[in-house]
Amino acid sequence: MGLKDSAQRVQDQLLALGYTNVVVELPDSTRTALEAAEAIGCEVAQIAKSIIFRLQRADSPLLVVASGINRVNQQTVSNHVIDALGKADAEFVRQRTGFVIGGVPPLGHTEAIATIIDEDLLPFETIWAAAGHPKAVFQLTPTQLVDMTQGHVMAIK
């Protein structure tokens, strides 16, 4: 049986960009960083969780890819992007990324999304990110994450 459509879109995007990373669907939910780490068998800190914010003035999405153990300091990020961060509801996330909350990958969105990457992900040899569905993930390196998202690395906590 193949991947769910949303996970296949992420796999197709990875391949189109020249990456050989493989999307896998796990039997258990990976909706939260803790669930993902338990399902994969890695540290929670190795989970690259994708959090979408709604920039208030620009009314556009901002993706913050954070280590699974970190909370985003919204004031720090807001100061960096020079815009207030608002909550992105489920409909905004689905419309602007093409994915549901809990499965938003770091790439393959319906539009280009400015991305910030948590510097705490960089020391790891490998990390894991959502792949378009709450049970789908893929393994990658921090360098690949920066390359595929063209994200800006910074301290987010």
| Residue pLDDT tens, the chain, 157 long | 589 999 999 999 999 999 999 999 988 878 789 989 999 999 999 999 999 999 999 999 999 999 999 999 999 999 999 999 999 999 999 999 999 998 999 999 999 999 999 999 999 999 999 999 989 999 999 999 999 999 999 999 9
CA distance 38 to 106: 20
Domain residue ranges of the chain, discontinuous segments joined by +: 5-154
Q: What is the pTM of this model?
A: 0.95
CA distance 33 to 68: 5
Please give the C-alpha separations between residue 140 and each of 15, 38, 53, 103, in angstroms, as whole numbers: 13, 17, 23, 16
Contact 50, 31 (CB under 8 A): no
> Under CATH, which architecture does the 5-154 domain have?
Alpha-Beta Complex (3.90)
Say whether 19 sits in a helix, a strand or coil.
coil
